[in-house]
Amino acid sequence: MADGEIASYPLLIIGAGISGIAAGCQVKRTLGVKDFVIFDKNNDIGGTWFTHRYPGVACDVPAILYSFSFAPNYNWSTLRPSGREIWKYLADVCEQYHLSDNIHLNTEVTELQWDEETLEWEIKFQRHPSLRKGTIRAKIVLTAVGKLANPKTSEDVLQNVHGAETFQGNVIHTSQWNESVDIRKKNVLVIGSGCSAAQIVPQLLGTDLGADSVTQLIRSPPWVVPNHLSKKHIGWWEGFLPSLTRNIPGFARLVRAIIFIITETNYFRFIRPGANARIRRAQKEKALLSHMKREVPSQYHQILTPRYEMGCKRLVHDDGWLHCLHDSRVKLSMLSLKRLGPKEGILGDKGEEFTIPLDAIILATGYDTSKLLQPMRIIGRNRIDLHELWKRRGGPQAYMGVALDNFPNFFFLFGPNSSSGHTSVLVGIENAVNYTLQIIEPIVKGWAEAYEVKEAACTNWTDIVQQSSRERVWVNGGCRSWWVDEAKWNGMVYPFSMLYATFAATFPIWDDWVPTYTPEGVLQRNKRPSTTLVISVSLAILMVCLSYVSWHEMTAVGVKA
């Protein structure tokens, strides 16, 4: 390459987390493309499972569902493995598919712009920590940044706390855990009551960390799901499953399918609109409240009674949090942090105030999902800015969770409305990858220069998502969560069954897309191999049978099928 010449690639993937790794493997496996690049701003692969290293971090869905279908792992050490074990699995997958040759770490994409003359994307990036800037070009861009990329840090959480600048202790977000910070014999304040808070609080009291005191501030008590499996059951699972999966052909995939179906029933039982779901939610809420009251001291019964319907937020799995509230070192409070001093915090509400000694603050406060894909600047066709377009249209949106009109050859993985809260996130990720690969295959083969979703198709899909979301518990269930913004715009959650999502990802509606064909593509577009047609029809019949209930529901609000 001559000096000053910009390197050009057939494909760029932004992000080396779960989505980026899945896409990279499948691009190699199914399309045979090897000369692509993956940029990631972190100094290692893994995305969320690299940045989340706080004590107690673990998977909160059955592990057998938390591996790729093309690289299944049936040898997890436990039913809900640690974050470190999941990271190791992802690293092993990268090694298996030789992705290290494609991945560029410490490389942050800052700007993307569509070139309408060359029909390519021009991508600007900078290296860390040198901040050296560079530019490449790519025919196709897959953004695998994900939704959990902008944590609510101290600048967000403590901005209205008087005296925050005087505090001499450590302030740590769970996604930015500093392993060098010594918690032993320290007085710790934990802000938050979601999944990460429930995982870390018991660990702070353990022998490894040994905090002197832990005060946990909660704004909205969560619905907590008990761990129904005894140590005996878990021991059986962990002891026998690896042997059974190795020695009985097809057993592992059968177990995986059964667990997926079981988790999928949560959608039909609790989330789908209708009187039956409301009745089942009420019954489940009663059972969860009974569990909570059995597990925690009576002084916390009122504090831990949720003020919203189950399913409005992500459920918290109880792996020791409720029981640890019996420890005399723990105090649970719904008071607010009003002021900070060098070594203390002042909690208060409605005139009541008291001071606690304080050495460290842990922010289990989640993410600002309103900043999806920020701070990247993304300029599409006719110089349309992606973030400004989303703002004009009401919020983040993407056709089938993967594409947006005016942005040719640009695809979201784990994008808006691509995953659900009732099953493994990997289902939504693999659906997005499989759908996207079908769209980009003609480009990779040289049959098309570009593919762009039609504006009408994108608008129609967005209307369906928002209309259906207004009937779901996460919009009208009485809570505030990162799934839905203050205007009740759902830019995050897929509002239907993942069975239907899998069907839709398997069979794209090609009429919703505008291709720019090459001369070879014009000759190829009418060629339909009969074997492919037979297989497609057979699969279509099977998937329609599996997803009929959800499909029927979606047609009621106008989705095309």
pLDDT along the chain (561 residues), means of 10: 74 98 98 97 96 94 90 87 96 97 98 98 97 97 91 89 96 94 96 96 93 96 83 68 79 87 85 84 95 97 96 91 97 96 94 93 92 95 98 97 98 93 91 98 97 98 96 90 91 93 95 95 69 52 56 50 39
Helix (H, G, I), strand (E, B) or coil at 300: helix
The count of other CB atoms within 10 Å of the CB of residue 525 is 14
Secondary-structure breakdown of the chain: helix, strand, coil percentages, each rounded to the nearest 5: 40, 20, 40
179 backbone dihedrals φ, ψ, rounded to 5°: -70, -15
| Cα 474 from chain centre | 16
Rounded Cα distance, 219 and 363, in Å: 13
Rounded Cα distance, 75 and 92, in Å: 13
If we measure between CA atoms, which residue out of 38, 39, 15 comes closest to residue 144? 15
If we measure between CA atoms, which residue out of 373, 359, 308, 487 comes closest to residue 144? 373
Distances (CA, A) of 346 to 153, 160, 189, 192, 330: 20, 13, 11, 17, 17
If we measure between CA atoms, which residue out of 336, 331, 341 comes closest to residue 352? 336
Cβ-contact 152, 173 below 8 angstroms: yes
Distances (CA, A) of 403 to 23, 257, 384, 459, 512: 15, 29, 15, 11, 11
Q: What is the pLDDT of residue 247?
A: 80
Helix (H, G, I), strand (E, B) or coil at 60: coil
Q: Peptide bond preceding 375: is omega within 30 degrees of 0, i.e. cis?
A: yes
Distances (CA, A) of 252 to 74, 75, 85, 249: 7, 10, 19, 8
Burial of 190 (0-12, 13-18, 19+ CB in 10 A): buried
Asked whether the CA dihedral 213, 227, 91, 28 is positive or negative, the reply is: negative
The count of other CB atoms within 10 Å of the CB of residue 126 is 16
Q: Residue 123 has what DSSP assignment?
A: E
Rounded Cα distance, 324 and 87, in Å: 27
Q: What is the pLDDT of residue 20?
A: 98
Helix (H, G, I), strand (E, B) or coil at 405: coil
Q: What is the pLDDT of residue 552?
A: 53
- How many CA atoms are closer than 13 Å to the CA of 309, on its beta-carbon side? 19
Q: pTM of the full predicted structure?
A: 0.91
Cβ-contact 141, 154 below 8 angstroms: no
What is the token pair recorded at 369?
């999902």
**Neighbour-count burial for 439-456, b at 16+ CB within 10 Å, e otherwise:** bbebbbeebbbbbbbeee
Rounded Cα distance, 414 and 491, in Å: 11
Q: 192: alpha, beta or left, given left = phi > 0 and alpha = psi -120 to 50? A: left
Complete domains list, the chain, with CATH: 7-148+369-555 (3.50.50.60), 154-226+266-363 (3.50.50.60)
Residue 233 parent element (H or E): helix 231-247
